[in-house]
């Protein structure tokens, strides 16, 4: 998702109380930022933030960090946050490219990573840019706790198949794999839909999901 440039969005983001700036100086400090010891869950490529805002409202005992590459997209999440009656103290955002994620979180600082409907980068030569490539799993390995996990949803079958292979190549465990989440009575319980999930499931596309961990 890359929206048309929105004039002034960089300035709004620079002044937003919901955005953490100079994120590369924050590794190891996230519990101080939230002022508690609650687990930290991040969503990479959160888009307009529907999913992570719903999780933050439902789980006040978990801290959430939403990561988005483009100002023109992040600003839509900020607009939603401004409409909330009560500010969500357990949610903040970073505008950054996830390639730099290991500079922003320290070893063992993150308890869960959500990847939802990540960009497919269909050309082979761009495979390393996919958020579920083995290169990205190596980055996740550096910041996740021992029990931490990655949860990934998509309707894109080639990307999903690639992701399953990446998990295996990275020698992580595949704890969950479903090719039709919405028709899996157990796994669908508590599922929070993302914007893309609503759109693609309304078109009849099955939603695939995997959960990967490296706990022995």
Ligand X SMILES: C[S@@+](CC[C@H](N)C(=O)[O-])C[C@H]1O[C@@H](n2cnc3c(N)ncnc32)[C@H](O)[C@@H]1O
Q: Which stretch binds ligand X (CB under 6 A): 4-12, 177-185, 192-200, 206-214?
A: 192-200
| Alpha carbon 37 to its chain's center | 20
Strands 63-68 and 91-95 come out as parallel
Distance of CA 79 to the CA centre of its chain: 19
> Among the options 108, 111, 119, 124, which is catalytic?
119
Q: Does 68 bind ligand X (CB under 6 A)?
A: yes
Task: Give least dist CB 45 to ligand X, A.
Answer: 3
Q: Which of 20, 42, 53, 98 binds ligand X (CB under 6 A)?
A: 98
Q: Which two tokens stand for residue 120?
A: 């497919």
The nearest distance, CB 215 to ligand X, in angstroms, is 25
Q: Is 45 exposed, middle or buried (0-12, 13-18, 19+ CB in 10 A)?
A: buried
Indicate whether 132 belongs to the interface with ligand X (CB under 6 A). no
Q: Where are the alpha helices (DSSP H) in the chain?
A: 9-15, 30-34, 50-58, 71-83, 101-104, 134-143, 157-169, 195-202
Residue partners of 169: CB distance under 8 A and separation at least 6: 134
Instruction: Candidates 39, 57, 70, 135: give the one binding ligand X (CB under 6 A).
Output: 70
Q: Looking at beta carbons only, is 118 or 213 nearer to ligand X?
A: 118
Residues 72-91, interacting with ligand X (CB under 6 A) = 73
Which of 26, 41, 69, 209 is in the footprint of ligand X by CB under 6 A?
69
Question: Any contact of residue 42 with ligand X (CB under 6 A)?
Answer: no
Task: Based on the residue annotation, tell me whether 108 is a catalytic residue of this protein.
Answer: no
For residue 114, what are its two tokens? 């959500």
Other C-beta atoms closer than 10 Å to the C-beta of 57 total 14
| 119 touches ligand X by CB under 6 A | yes
Tokens at residue 169, please? 């190549």
For the annotated catalytic residues, the residue numbers are 119
Task: Note the residues at the interface with ligand X (CB under 6 A).
Answer: 1-2, 44-47, 67-70, 73, 97-99, 116-119, 194-197
């Amino acid at each position: 998702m890359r929206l048309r440039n929105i004039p002034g969005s960089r300035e709004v983001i620079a002044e937003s109380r919901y955005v953490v700036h100079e994120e590369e100086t924050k590794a190891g400090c996230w519990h101080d930022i939230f002022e508690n010891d609650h687990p930290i869950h991040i969503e990479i490529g959160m888009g307009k933030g529907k999913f992570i805002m719903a999780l933050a409202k439902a789980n006040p005992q978990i801290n959430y960090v939403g990561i988005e590459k483009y100002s023109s997209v992040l600003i839509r999440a900020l607009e939603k946050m401004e409409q909330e009656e009560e500010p969500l103290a357990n949610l903040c955002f970073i505008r950054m490219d996830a390639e730099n994620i290991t500079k922003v979180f320290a070893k063992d600082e993150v308890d869960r990573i959500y990847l939802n409907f990540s960009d497919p980068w269909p050309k082979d030569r761009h495979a390393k840019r996919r958020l579920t490539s083995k290169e990205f799993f190596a980055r996740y390995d550096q910041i996740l706790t021992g029990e931490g996990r990655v949860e990934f949803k998509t309707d894109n079958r080639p990307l999903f198949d690639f992701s399953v292979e990446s998990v295996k190549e990275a020698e992580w465990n595949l704890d969950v794999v479903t090719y039709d989440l919405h028709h899996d009575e157990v796994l669908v319980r508590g599922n929070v839909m993302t914007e893309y999930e609503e759109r693609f499931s309304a078109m009849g596309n099955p939603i695939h999901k995997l959960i990967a961990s490296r706990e022995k």
